[in-house]
Structure 1
């Protein structure tokens, strides 16, 4: 069976299991209904015991929270409800004490409109920091009406320009109006970013960064109009004008130079970049700009580019193709890849790609865990994924959704449809399908009133899901056969066979649409592993590839395994069952 044999050097950020923590929703320690840094510290032993090596903490910096902390008003301070700078420094120390690394979000495409830099920039047209952001004079139509500088649409459904009456110009924001884009063309601005957002935290011991919107710093010169793809709309999807711009690699090389004196990891958020050659420019070991990126091919399934709430059909074949798209990259090139299905911007993977019905959700969670833990690359988990958390129910009203993108979307539909009941109901269904809020509900620690996230007499900042009574840490932590126990087992297996599962070559096996089947090959030892997974509610048969029907094949782990029965020997998979077989070299 032909396969490439590029040999990668082993290193901690390739083998490490990364666990993402969303501070507002993880654990409240002081009774205000909002998660905080001391709450994270209180659960470090729990995180370590899952098998985690690296903690990624989502934005916890000072912020007015227009976009849940991705609108930073001070890179060098902490959002007050989360704690203090001293708390954050203690989090770094306590994480290191437990043998784990810690990385922070690096959000440097934009700041908050409350950041001192923007307040200065906004104060007058001749302020020294005016050029640190994108300010443009208005255009006027034939009737003398004021118009925006171009037709760009922001990521949050609104125009990408906001009028400032003080200086009578517009400023650019690819995201919310409270998130003005920094002008990376200005060298002084870049130097300030590097000092305040990067060096400040490197000096305090962080082990790297997840770099937000890493391909948006360089815009097309002149900020021209985006192509008109929706003639009926005043704004147009403008990703091609502000993503992967002409100077982006120059900027990333500057960041690389800053990081070169530290043993740190970098993982870039790389949306809207489906071409492998373009991706390689970011992650090739020769360029060294980034260690790896988070590609969005799988998690964007079912979403229309430019409008995640507009459904697009997909099936299990699409899921398999997208999930494995980058699996051969490490074997064929000097670049590294990542493996993930959840983060703070996505719905829960069980609900999206399997089944969250009570009869199936535990099996579905273990099945997805089996696939992820045996794939090549750095593995990322999101809080609650390890216990099988699911999306909010269909019964949720639109009022429950807090995300700025969700709120703007629903308001837009109400306004456009003039509160048409059918349109509103469709919008509610779309929110339940793909809203970012599903990942942001409080972590489910136990079956008490507020799921152990906060005291029972406290109102949490976001509603706790009722299903926490059936899905929570307390019920699973010491229960054999639970989703949490399975994650612990399979992560231990991944580490024990790191040469095979982390670094091994990936070979897909074509079988029927609902069956995922692939080989992992350890080029160092000759060991091989067969992974089979049923992605459906139906019972499926599968075929062992040549050589895997012999006595040398051993069963390694499975979602439905029973030590008393040799069911794993049968080539029949129950709904959402997965198995891992091995042949030693």
Structure 2
């Protein structure tokens, strides 16, 4: 049984794999486990320490694998359990850890538990889920799901409705039932005994719900989802999960919407439930253009989370994942220069960075031209709804603005046919820019990521040091100190002026002997400096 040493994860860098789009090994157009195995040497060379693999469990794929029909089985589209065990062994031989998604807020409606639960009110599995008396026109309350519409789905046979915070095909588990908890804890131990190194806890903050009588007080922001976001009482379940994680020394990161930055230390300090936490706030968009990121909004969120977790607790850092469009087009201007600036802006913050597949060589958003290119059921439903008031062109433009479809296109390994992803027909169209943007063309960006990873591995100031921000109100420049390091990044496509002489520890003629460690240009430190568009500089005393 492997034990993760205390705080080892402070030095680590994770790499997220969306397996369906990572690498196809058998020509069926779908990424698979053997494809991941094939690329392990590349990931080792990149320098990352662990892989977070999105769900590979048996699933009808209504929500990209987050609707699990068998917690113990590998979906045949990805391979077999033997394949996975081979992946574990070969990854561990390369000193790479493996983290899987832990999806325990809900199951698929094709899970045997739910199939049994539907049969009758007195079925032994009925109480594994959240059923209440209802009628087609009268649900137990007015709550709405993350995917839109009621959180309740009516069952004509038993005259009741079941609860779901995501799609109706994803019924929520009843954590108040001790049998459900024991089944989940048994499953967690099974995977840890198999040899995995940890979990990314999906939607974990939703497992506790308010009383059904709770009235939604605001329909703005997160208001509609307050009844099932970090509700009091969740502490009991999280403490039980923590006991298992601690027993195995498991590496854990939580997706915990509703957990505020001021609450995150309680979740992630040494006595907390998990090692680190993903905040879901920094992906703010400009009010007049939902496809473009708000740089100042991004900066404010990052600074608040860094400061609120400074004395205790730990951040999980990211700018891309499987649910967000590509950062190079959202917060950047599509150029590799902007991708470099974004990389430096977050990789040296206090926390454990995650790199999403393809991010390290500048993969960009997909230019959707036809609704047939859409794959997500959720996005397709949104498109169909928009068609009631918009033209096909406008509906597609609107639904793809901020779509997670952008991040799920097949990985662009090279400029050969199908970008080297598959020898068959890819399950989703490959971005037509693959001949210009792929793993072989953008070596400068990859090398920058390698250098940033090496800094975290070698420099205690980066892995465990303090953090202090300067020029907090500057609309486009992010400046922070990590003990003896000074990081300066211009997150815009226009020049910026900085005057360090106005900052206390840089003023009064004090000489700071900064040596440049990284930079988009060779620029000695000066109290007054002009930053070019997307310029970054990293100095060390």
Q: TM-score range by the shorter chain?
A: over 0.9
Aligned runs of 1:565-584 on 2, under 5 Å?
571-583=529-541
Aligned runs of 1:32-51 on 2, under 5 Å?
32-51=28-47
1:496 aligns with 2:487: no
Q: List per-residue Cα deviations over 1:205-263 (Å, max 9, x = no partner).
A: 11110000111000012354434638xxxxx9631111112221100111112222212
Residue matched to 2:267: 282
Aligned runs of 1:56-75 on 2, under 5 Å?
56-75=52-71
**Alignment CA distance shift 1:297-1:103 (3 Å):** same
Is the 1:557–1:581 Cα contact (8 Å) retained in structure 2?
yes
Which residue of 226, 230, 248 maps to 2:234?
248
The secondary structure found in structure 2 opposite 1:238 is helix
TM-superposed CA distance for 1:94, in Å, is 1.1
1:272 aligns with 2:258: yes
The secondary structure found in structure 1 opposite 2:227 is helix
Which residue of 439, 442, 451 maps to 2:410?
442
1:370 aligns with 2:366: no
The secondary structure found in structure 1 opposite 2:72 is strand
TM-superposed CA distance for 1:285, in Å, is 2.2
Which residue of 508, 515, 522 maps to 1:554?
515
The secondary structure found in structure 2 opposite 1:500 is helix
1:112 aligns with 2:108: yes
Is the 2:144–2:224 Cα contact (8 Å) retained in structure 1?
yes
Count of residue pairs the alignment pairs up: 529
TM-superposed CA distance for 1:313, in Å, is 8.2
**Alignment CA distance shift 1:239-1:469 (3 Å):** same
Residue matched to 1:229: 219
1:202 aligns with 2:180: no
Give unpaired runs (5+ residues) of structure 2: none
Is the 1:153–1:237 Cα contact (8 Å) retained in structure 2?
no
Is the 2:256–2:278 Cα contact (8 Å) retained in structure 1?
yes
Residue matched to 2:118: 122
Question: Structure 1 segments of 4 or more deviating over 6 A?
Answer: 567-570
Distance 2:377 2:97 in 1: 31
Is the 1:328–1:505 Cα contact (8 Å) retained in structure 2?
no
Is the 2:291–2:401 Cα contact (8 Å) retained in structure 1?
no
Is the 1:352–1:433 Cα contact (8 Å) retained in structure 2?
no
**Alignment CA distance shift 1:183-1:200 (3 Å):** same
The secondary structure found in structure 2 opposite 1:191 is helix
The secondary structure found in structure 1 opposite 2:205 is coil
The secondary structure found in structure 2 opposite 1:531 is strand
Distance 2:295 2:359 in 1: 20
Residue matched to 1:326: 305
Residue matched to 1:5: none
TM-superposed CA distance for 1:551, in Å, is 6.2
Is the 2:140–2:212 Cα contact (8 Å) retained in structure 1?
no
Is the 2:362–2:437 Cα contact (8 Å) retained in structure 1?
yes
Q: List per-residue Cα deviations over 1:68-98 (Å, max 9, x = no partner).
A: 1000000100011100011111111111110
The secondary structure found in structure 2 opposite 1:327 is helix
1:412 aligns with 2:385: yes
Aligned runs of 1:173-572 on 2, under 5 Å?
173-196=164-187, 198-222=188-212, 224-227=214-217, 229=219, 238-273=224-259, 275-286=260-271, 288-299=272-283, 301-302=284-285, 311=290, 315-332=294-311, 334-356=312-334, 361-393=335-367, 395-415=368-388, 417=389, 420-421=390-391, 424-455=392-423, 458-476=424-442, 479=443, 482-497=444-459, 499-510=460-471, 512-521=474-483, 528-544=484-500, 545=503, 546-547=505-506, 550=511, 552-561=513-522, 571-572=529-530
TM-superposed CA distance for 1:187, in Å, is 0.6
Distance 1:568 1:387 in 2: 29
**Alignment CA distance shift 1:260-1:354 (3 Å):** same
The secondary structure found in structure 2 opposite 1:190 is helix
Is the 1:329–1:336 Cα contact (8 Å) retained in structure 2?
no
TM-superposed CA distance for 1:572, in Å, is 2.3
**C-alpha RMSD of the superposition:** 2.3
Distance 2:229 2:77 in 1: 33
Distance 2:294 2:247 in 1: 46
Give unpaired runs (5+ residues) of structure 1: 1-8, 140-144, 231-235, 522-527
